[in-house]
Every structure is written in structure tokens, then in C-alpha cells.
Chain A
Amino acid sequence: MVRAGGEHQRDGGEPVSTYVDGGLILVGVVAASLCGLFLVRWGLPHKVVKPHHDVTAAIFAITGTIYAVLLAFAVVIVWQSFTDTQTTVTQEANAVADLDRISRGFPVVLRRQVHDEALTYAHVVILREWPLMANGGSSPEANAALIELWHAYTDMHGLQQSSPLYGQSLTELNDITDDRRVRLLSSQSRVPTVMWAMLVLGGVVVVLFSFLFAVRSLWLHAVMTVMLSGMIALSLLLIYVLNGPFAGVVKVQPTAFVTTVDNMEHVQQ
């Protein structure tokens, strides 16, 4: 059975609410930092902090460096995970398309069987498995469709198994299976809670330290605080939206599979 095409949503970018929510969080963090700054400057006037300025600067340099490394590490990890997952998804969709194309070298019944089952697998991945992966889940139907695809080859008559196309087909099937496994594992990857705690607490500490600098001008100190807290908030937001390649607001879309299905559906078996 071949499913109807054209029903899958293409990647339409992030929803508007993402930017609104992100903007609100940014404004909130900056506002809280400014409140903290005013509070600290009221409690600890310039003449009190000035004698300790050098010590504060030295400790801030160490704290800031440690936090910067931590933040950069987290950003790189989530971005790497996101792009790796995108690559895996593309490879998996390509392997499905390649399998279908290679099957055209087999007798018509097998070709039709592989085509139908590959198409079923791609459809089920898009429609059933993709939403489930947001929570680290998987679709039993996708698993079943993949196993049926394997059976199409393992049940093949001896004559077909001796074809050079058979070995190549098994390689593609292996790739699909491996890529699916990696995709499902990626769907479960998240920044650990302890890491989140360190990122947030570290950010708070760094901003708090910046309050202790002996800056004579309140206005200038406020501008520096806004820039520092805003930068940290933006970095944390980036980690948040990239956290979990299939969850949240910025996620890997099944575009490669949709393209594969569109191409396969136009092939007359």
C-alpha cells in the first residue's frame, strides 16, 4: 500500500512565539541584573568597593574564564549534536532512496515489495516516529516497517541473493538500521541537570561579580551589566533551544525523508 504524499509539513523555521518568549526571558534577566546592580551599589557604595577593585578584577578574570569555557563547551556540544543528528537523518533518508533505486535491478515483484515497504517505513518515520522522538520515544510501527524491509531481503530466493545488487542492498539496509539507532539515541540526548545547574549558577556568579567593580558612573556600570547579563542570557537561550535535537523550538525536521518520499512516490513500479 502506498500512502498519499504531500501531507507532511516542511521545515518552516521556528515559531514566532520562540522569539517572543526568548525576548521576554532576555528582558527579564537584564532587568533582574539591573535591580541587583542598583541594590548592590546602594548597599556597597563606590568608596567601599574601590580599595578591593584589583582583587575583584583578578578573581573575576578566573571565574569568568572558567564560566566562558563551560558555556562554550555546552554550546559546542549541543550544536554538534544538532548538526550530527541532521547529518544522520539525511544519511538515513538517502539510504532509503538508494535502497529503492537499487531494487530496480531485481525482478518486478521484489522491486514492488521493496518499494512499498521502503515507502511505508519513510511515511511512518515522518508521521508517527518524529513526534514521539520529541520525548525520546520511538514508533513500534517504524520498527516493524524496518524489520519487514529486512525480511524482503532475507526471504529472497537463492538466485536473487547471488546478485551483486543483493550485497549492496544489505549495506544500505544496514546503514538505515544504524542511522535509525543513532537517531533514536540522539532523541534521548539532553544537557544533564547538573550541567544546567552549573551554567545558571555560574552565570549568576559572574554577573554578581560584575556588580563589585568600582565604576564611578552608575550609567556606565548599568550599560556594562546589561551587556554582560544579556550575553550570558543569550548563550543560555541558545543552549536551551538546541537542547534535544528533536525537542523544543529549534529541532531537526524530517525534510530529507519528505524529499525522499516525494521522489519515490513519483516512481511507477
Chain B
Amino acid sequence: MSRALAVLGVALLVLAAVAAIAETGSGKSGDSTPIRVGILHSETGSLAVSEIPVIDSTLMAIDELNAQGGINGRKIQVFQLNGQSDEAVFARDARTLIERDKVNVIFGCWTSSCRKTLKPIVEQDKNLLMYPLQYEGLEESPNIVYLGAAPNQQIIPAVKWFLDNRGKRFFLVGSDYIFPHAANAIIKDYLRLYGGKAVGEAYVPLGGENFASIAREIKRARPDVILNTVNGASNIGLFGALRGAGIKASQTPVVSFSIAEQEVQEIGARALAGNYAVWNYFASVDNPENRAFIKSFQARFGQGCLTDDPVEAAYIGVELWAQAVRDAGTPSPMNVLEKIGDENYRAPEGMVYVDDQNHHLWKTTRIGQIRSDGQFKVVWTSETILHPEPFPASRTEGQWLALLHHFDTKWHGWSGPAVSTNVMGANRCRLM
């Protein structure tokens, strides 16, 4: 009798173990506590106009996931802080999100200086930053997923296309911080390689709006194309000064790397019409995924609210992260980072694939010409998705890192002196 009971007991134990293994294998740990995620963008300051739609898009993706029951049966709980367009605030708030709020991921940052400020924090704390912007490259971090374009997915194709189609003489104008300086270093390398020429280069402090002298300089240099890496509200000053100097888009087009549909709406489409921008996504891309994305976005925030590249990148960032959490069976950042390199997603811009080595996305590149209605007419699309190459081949990785070190030493940080600025944003889209 006692032997029979022992056998029965062992059988029950085995059954319990099998059930536990089956439960683990199904990806549902039984934990129903919410998954804590952080959103860290600027709701105030010079970058708010650009970052607020990105916040909206991130929240929309999270709400959609929660409406579907969350991830692996767990709802997503958002902890949102305001970076105030200030790197010091971003750094402080990132630590707060990780240490106090115990978030598993931060969806955040706009500028490269913000990302570079947060990079050591997420690396040290073994957390994860989903960064939604195109950037200058020259960086890789195991703890950052770069959702925007690397230089060979935006800057380099643009240089090539305008060399082939508009002329050899380029003027480079940008804000005085890491992205424009690094981007222009890449541009000058490729101009040399492809037989073009940089006929001038000028910077204004981050947030600065006085472009009168730069406009005169451009007029004197007589470039075929102006490559613009000016950020945020400063673009109002740039385009005003160009207009004042009589520089027309039909003769000397401005090719912008930081102006998308949101900024066009703020600056004024009529003032920008005829100029160009280079992105992976434009709202005018015609496919079922993009139509559904725009419909959801506008149903939530209003018909006047526009989607653009960073908005879309923020959305697909949440989706890719959610897929990786599902596959990992846990939101733990290091487990998610192990899985995220295998993820791909049919995004509004087309298929995107996470590169398993550098955590950037394989994406399609597009050049769009600004129309007077604020939308972009796509004039060129890359033949296929492009492999992200954070370190352009024109220099070795060591040479690029030395250049970055030079900027860091020069500025004691990742940007030159900033000035106070008018804030765009009268047209902000908020939840309906």
C-alpha cells in the first residue's frame, strides 16, 4: 500500500513539473503585473515641437498593445518624464526612470547629444533605450536600438543623388552640435569620393535663429545645393533668411535632414515648397500599412495631425520591442536585447529588419520634395532596403571615434553653446 502511495506521489510530482515546464514554454509566466516602460522626451523647450508627436505615437502603440491584452498577458504601464530639451534633465530623468520607476525600456531622446548623454546610463544600468531618430552614426551600443537612419541610409544616398541630379557645389549649414558636425564630416568625405565640392560650411548655436550672415555667405558661394542639418525651431530663421537673400528652391534647393512633415507644418509649407528632405518614411508613402497607421493616428489626435519619420520610427520601436518581449518571454532588458536582433516588422515605411550585430534597422531610403500642401512628393526610393552602417567606410572606426572625441573635448559635452529660442508648437497634436 505504501509503495503504491509513493508511486502515486512521484507521478503527481512529475505531472506538476511537466505542467510547470509547459506553462514556461508557452511564454506566459503567470506574472500579471504590468510591464513598466519609460517615455523620456521633451514636452517643453525648443525640441518640444518635434518630440511631442513622437510621444503621441509611442503612447498610441502602447495603448494598442494594451487594448489587445498587453504582452504575454501583461499590461504595459507607462512612466513619462519631460526632458525639457535639456541634456542634464534627460540624464537625471533617465536615472529616475531606471532606478526609481524600475522601467524595462526607455523610449526617448531626439538629439544625438541627448542619446550620447543617456548611452552610458543605460549601458551601466543594463537597460534599453529605443532611439527613434535618424542620426550621424559613428556609434554602436549593445543597449540602444537605433530606429532611424544610419548615415548610409540618409546622408550618403542624398549626397549621391544630388550630385547626380543637381550639381557639384554644396553648402553645408547646421546647428552647432554633434549631429551636424559629424554629418558634415561624412558629407565632405563622400563629396570628395564622388567628385563634388563643399563650397562653404556654417553653424549657428543650437536654438539660434540669426542666419542673416550665413544667408549672405551662401549667396556669395553660389552653391548648387544647400545641405541643411539645422535642428528644431532654428529652421524658421534659416528659411526666412534664405528667402530674404533671394535664394529660391528652384535654383538652389535646400536638402534637409531634420525637417519632416511636422516641421513643415510649423514653419509653413509655402515657405518650404520645392525644397527637399531625405527620410525613410514620408506620410505620402502609399501602402495599406501606412494608410492604416495614418488613419489610427488621425483618429486619435485629429485630422490635422501629421505622421512623419520620427513619429513612425517611434511607433515601430514599440512594436519591435513588444515582439522581442514576446519572444524572450520576459521584459527584462538583457533578455529582450538578446532577441531583438531577430525581429522584423511590416512597418508603414515597408519591411524593416533589426540588424543582429549593430541594432540598427535595415530600411528603405527616400528623397522627397516638399509640396505646397505640406506633404512630400517622393522623387527617389532606394532600390532595396539598405544595410545600416553606423561607421561609413570613408574612415576607419578608430578615425571616426577620434573625431567624436575631438568634439567632446572641444565642447566638454556633445553640443556647442545653446541660445534661448522661440518655441514652435502652436500646432501641437494632443489626444482627442
Interface residues of A (CB under 8 A from B): 1, 3-4, 109, 112-113, 116-117, 120, 123-124, 127, 140-141, 143-145, 147-148, 155, 157, 269
Does B193 lie at the interface of the complex (its beta carbon under 8 Å from any beta carbon of A)?
A: yes
- Residue in contact with B193 in the complex, picked from A109, A116, A120, A144, CB distance below 8 Å: A109
The answer on a CB contact under 8 Å between A155 and B194 is yes
Label chain A's interface by main secondary structure.
helix
Question: In this complex, which of A3, A144, A145 has the most chain B Cβ atoms within 10 angstroms of its Cβ?
Answer: A144
- Residue in contact with B357 in the complex, picked from A1, A109, A140, A155, CB distance below 8 Å: A1
Cα A145 to Cα B357 with chains together (Å): 15
The answer on a CB contact under 8 Å between B362 and A141 is yes
CB of A180 to closest CB in B, whole Å: 14
The answer on a CB contact under 8 Å between A1 and B394 is no
- Name which residue of chain A comes closest to B363, CB basis: A144
Does B386 lie at the interface of the complex (its beta carbon under 8 Å from any beta carbon of A)?
A: yes
The answer on a CB contact under 8 Å between B394 and A144 is no
Does B388 lie at the interface of the complex (its beta carbon under 8 Å from any beta carbon of A)?
A: yes
Interface residues of B (CB under 8 A from A): 140, 160, 189, 193-195, 351, 353, 355-358, 362, 383-391, 393-394, 396
Report chain A residues within 8 Å CB of B396.
112, 269
The answer on a CB contact under 8 Å between A140 and B193 is no
Report chain A residues within 8 Å CB of B389.
1, 116
Report chain A residues within 8 Å CB of B193.
109, 157
The answer on a CB contact under 8 Å between B385 and A140 is yes
Cα A177 to Cα B357 with chains together (Å): 24
- Name which residue of chain B comes closest to A116, CB basis: B393
Report chain B residues within 8 Å CB of A143.
384
Report chain A residues within 8 Å CB of B195.
157
Cα A112 to Cα B387 with chains together (Å): 15
- Residue in contact with A144 in the complex, picked from B357, B387, B393, CB distance below 8 Å: B387
Report chain A residues within 8 Å CB of B189.
109
The answer on a CB contact under 8 Å between B391 and A1 is yes
Cα A124 to Cα B344 with chains together (Å): 14
The answer on a CB contact under 8 Å between B194 and A144 is no
Cα A4 to Cα B341 with chains together (Å): 14
- Residue in contact with A112 in the complex, picked from B355, B362, B390, B393, CB distance below 8 Å: B393
- Name which residue of chain A comes closest to B341, CB basis: A127
Cα A141 to Cα B387 with chains together (Å): 7
Known: A109-B393, A141-B362. A148 touches B356 (CB 8 A): no
Report chain B residues within 8 Å CB of A145.
387
Residue contacts A-B, CB under 8 angstroms, 11 given: A1-B388, A109-B394, A113-B393, A116-B393, A140-B385, A143-B384, A144-B362, A144-B386, A157-B193, A157-B194, A269-B396
The answer on a CB contact under 8 Å between A140 and B390 is no
Cα A123 to Cα B358 with chains together (Å): 13
Known: A140-B384, A147-B384, A148-B387. A127 touches B356 (CB 8 A): yes
CB of A124 to closest CB in B, whole Å: 8
A-B CB proximity, top 10 nearest: A113-B393, A144-B384, A112-B393, A3-B357, A144-B385, A1-B358, A147-B384, A109-B394, A120-B387, A1-B389
Report chain B residues within 8 Å CB of A109.
189, 193, 393-394
The answer on a CB contact under 8 Å between A155 and B386 is no
Report chain B residues within 8 Å CB of A144.
362, 384-387
Question: In this complex, which of B160, B384, B394, B396 has the most chain A Cβ atoms within 10 angstroms of its Cβ?
Answer: B384
The answer on a CB contact under 8 Å between B362 and A4 is no
Cα A255 to Cα B432 with chains together (Å): 57
